[in-house]
């Protein structure tokens, strides 16, 4: 194919940057076929693929009409617009590698192309299959059938490709994109005690694989506890005296995203402990005669049972040492 307009794309890079900061991944512009029946759009697209009428001049054809859009041109700031990257769309079918064959679209732009994002009438599975045609690798081995796939979240609702800076691929902005949909987690990470997500010292994808995994909640590890041990290795057993809810699931007591209670506890001790342990009998024990406040003050139950994660002390059966 032909030369890409890389010289004059670069000169547009700066104004684009400012523009992109406000655009994020949302595709707000409407295509003329957005209002069409999705089934009709799909049929036309299938027909176009069957006929295989790609443009003879690739991107140059498209840019005859689309070069005025700073958003379109920003493609050349990223990997997908770089002819020199092996396997990049630009090294092959160019724009049509993603948007499908031109067909009769150049007659006034009315015939549909493949468009992306939540407003597109093109079914999510079809949108995603475009991306997966090049990205079906280890990282997305279990994409199919994962929570996001099942909920019709498209690749393009997280990723922007017409940009040199994809906000979700940047640790400084990832959390912002994830929490634009996950409002519960957004609230949690701003609570009194939380993992340092609000300062971008940690990101959602430190714990989750956004492309899906074999564990519940798409964790990078096989279980909640394996996830926690990957950073809190000192909590991994075996201990001489285990506390069974700890070995069972750290989330029995902690909310990994954050909480109003200290140490991200799902509720405050003694209530937390009493949700499993009946308190009657214990308080009337003569041992506590002079320590009436021990149950409520400061460390509460942990005043005495300080080894709540388990004990390695020979006489630590009651998690007191």
Q: Which of 122, 210, 213, 311 binds ligand HEC (CB under 6 A)?
A: 210
Q: Per rule CB under 6 A, is residue 208 in the interface with ligand HEC?
A: yes
- Which of 37, 171 has the CB closer to ligand HEC? 171
Q: Per rule CB under 6 A, is residue 244 in the interface with ligand HEC?
A: yes
Q: Per rule CB under 6 A, is residue 121 in the interface with ligand HEC?
A: no
Residues 264-283 that bind ligand HEC (CB under 6 A): 264-265, 269-270, 272-277, 279, 281-282
Q: Which of 18, 29, 187, 222 binds ligand HEC (CB under 6 A)?
A: 29
Compute the half-sphere exposure of residue 225: CA atoms within 13 Å on the CB side of its CA: 14
Q: Per rule CB under 6 A, is residue 83 in the interface with ligand HEC?
A: no
The alpha carbon of residue 65 and the mean position of all alpha carbons in its chain are separated, in whole angstroms, by 34
Which range binds ligand HEC by CB under 6 A, 10-18, 35-43, 45-53, 222-230? 222-230
Q: Are 62 and 95 in contact (CB under 8 A)?
A: yes
- Which of 37, 69 has the CB closer to ligand HEC? 69
The alpha carbon of residue 70 and the mean position of all alpha carbons in its chain are separated, in whole angstroms, by 27
Q: Which of 9, 227, 261, 311 binds ligand HEC (CB under 6 A)?
A: 227
Q: Per rule CB under 6 A, is residue 16 in the interface with ligand HEC?
A: no
Binding mask 46-65 for ligand HEC (x = CB under 6 A): ---------x---x-xxxxx
CA distance linking residue 107 with residue 133, whole number of Å: 28
Q: Report the chain's C-alpha Rg in angstroms.
A: 27
CA distance linking residue 151 with residue 182, whole number of Å: 13
Which range binds ligand HEC by CB under 6 A, 9-17, 42-50, 211-219? 211-219
Q: How many residues bind ligand HEC, per CB under 6 A?
A: 140
CA distance linking residue 96 with residue 192, whole number of Å: 49
- Which of 43, 201 has the CB closer to ligand HEC? 201
Q: Which of 1, 13, 17, 79 binds ligand HEC (CB under 6 A)?
A: 79
- Which of 43, 181 has the CB closer to ligand HEC? 181
Q: Per rule CB under 6 A, is residue 297 in the interface with ligand HEC?
A: no
Residue reference for tokens 């957004």: 186
DSSP per residue over 140-161, as a string? GTT-TTSHHHHTT--HHHH---
Binding mask 166-205 for ligand HEC (x = CB under 6 A): x-xx----xx-xxxxxx--x---x---x-xxx----x-xx
Q: Is residue 253 packed enough to be buried (19+ CB in 10 Å), middle (13-18) or exposed (0-12)?
A: buried
Q: Least distance (Å) from ligand HEC to the CB of residue 14?
A: 18
Which range binds ligand HEC by CB under 6 A, 12-20, 35-43, 45-53, 142-150? 142-150
Q: Which of 20, 41, 45, 207 binds ligand HEC (CB under 6 A)?
A: 207
- Which of 39, 104 has the CB closer to ligand HEC? 104
CA distance linking residue 8 with residue 98, whole number of Å: 23
Residue nearest to ligand HEC (CB): 109
- Cα-based torsion angle of the residue sequence 230, 235, 239, 241 in order, rounded to the nearest 10 degrees: -140
- Closest by CA to 8, choosing from 61, 81, 58, is 81
CA distance linking residue 304 with residue 15, whole number of Å: 62
CA distance linking residue 102 with residue 117, whole number of Å: 20
CA distance linking residue 126 with residue 129, whole number of Å: 5
Q: Per rule CB under 6 A, is residue 243 in the interface with ligand HEC?
A: yes
């Amino acid at each position: 194919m032909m030369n890409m307009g890389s010289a004059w794309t670069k000169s547009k890079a700066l104004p684009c940057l400012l523009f992109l900061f406000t655009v994020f991944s949302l595709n707000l512009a409407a295509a003329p076929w957005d209002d069409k029946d999705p089934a009709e759009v799909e049929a036309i697209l299938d027909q176009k693929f069957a006929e295989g009428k790609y443009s003879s001049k690739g991107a140059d054809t498209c840019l005859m009409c689309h070069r005025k859009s700073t958003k379109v041109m920003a493609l050349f700031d990223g990997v997908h617009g770089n002819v020199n990257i092996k396997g990049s769309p630009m090294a092959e079918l160019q724009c049509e590698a993603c948007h499908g064959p031109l067909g009769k679209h150049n007659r006034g732009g009315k015939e549909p192309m493949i468009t992306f994002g939540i407003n597109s009438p093109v079914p999510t599975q079809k949108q995603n299959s475009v991306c997966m045609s090049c990205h079906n690798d280890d990282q997305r081995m279990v994409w199919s059938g994962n929570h996001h796939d099942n909920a019709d979240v498209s690749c393009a609702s997280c990723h922007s490709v017409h940009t040199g800076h994809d906000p979700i691929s940047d640790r400084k902005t990832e959390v912002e994109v994830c929490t634009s949909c996950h409002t519960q987690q957004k609230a949690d990470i701003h609570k009194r005690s939380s993992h340092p997500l609000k300062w971008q010292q940690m990101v959602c994808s430190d714990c989750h694989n956004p492309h899906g995994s074999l564990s519940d909640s798409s964790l990078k590890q096989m279980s909640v506890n394996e996830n926690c041990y990957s950073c809190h290795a000192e909590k991994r057993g075996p201990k001489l005296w285990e506390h069974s809810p700890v070995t069972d699931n750290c989330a029995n007591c902690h909310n990994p995203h954050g909480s109003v209670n200290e140490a991200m506890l799902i509720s405050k001790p003694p209530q937390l402990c009493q949700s499993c342990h009946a308190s009657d009998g214990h308080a009337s024990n003569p041992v506590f005669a002079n320590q009436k406040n021990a149950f409520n003050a400061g460390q509460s139950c942990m005043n005495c049972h300080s080894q709540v994660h388990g004990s390695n002390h020979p006489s630590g059966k009651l998690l007191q040492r």
